[in-house]
Amino acid sequence: MLAHTKRCALVETARSLNRTGLNQGTSGNVSLRVGDGFFITPSALAYDRYRPADIVELDMAGRVVGGTRKPSSEWRLHRDIYAHRHQAGAVLHVHPPWCTTLACLERSIPPYHYMVAIGGGDSIACAPYALFGSAELSTNVLAALGNDRCACLLAHHGMVCFSSDLKSVVALALEVENLARVYVQALQAGEVPLLTQSEMDQVRQQFVAYRNVAQGK
């Protein structure tokens, strides 16, 4: 019953992506950590056709252990984030227009606004291009995320982020997309003044304090 509930939550999250503007068509994918593996959306199926039974379960070796459909071609990216970041409970990869605009320009999101720190660092990096679904792409993304970041852009591709659960990972993706939109708009007037390393460090400390309060620490 619990597994069915999680499959349903993943279906509803996937269906919400086009409504929120984070995705278009059948591109993008979302997953949820479950036990020693994870649930992930299937390949080449329109979101509005998703049913709980269409969600694919993989183990950490990338083997299908539940479901009859083929998993998203980006399953390796999700698996590697789970393997390297223990705090990742949900992973979201999408092609939102403003993030993708910067990604196609091979530009990161610098510290032009304090909310950039929501990605875990003083910028939201852009990982070098690699073929979708490849081990090289996963390697590039892990390097861009480093030890602290929870979101990055993918050159000539889109963006990926992770959080503790489905609701918060969608909220994070929406915030990163908004940051990308405002940054692209600001660039129309010229180069954008940036916050200093010290100023961003202060913001990150405040974010940690807010999270601790929210978690009752």
Instruction: Report the phi/psi class of residue 159: left, alpha or beta, with left for phi > 0 and alpha for psi in -120 to 50.
Output: beta
Phi and psi dihedrals of 216, rounded to 5? 75, 25
- Distance CA(158)–CA(143), nearest Å, equals 16
Using DSSP's 3-state secondary structure scheme, residue 173 falls into: helix
Which of the following is catalytic: 74, 175, 191, 199? 74
Active site residue 74: yes
Core vs surface per residue 138-175: b (16+ CB within 10 A) or e: bebbbebbeeebbbbbbbebbbbbbbeebeebbebbeb
The answer to whether 118 and 175 are in contact (CB under 8 A) is yes
- What strands, in cross-sheet order, belong to the sheet with 29-34? 64-66, 56-59, 37-40, 29-34, 90-94, 158-163, 151-154, 126-127
Residues designated as active site: 74
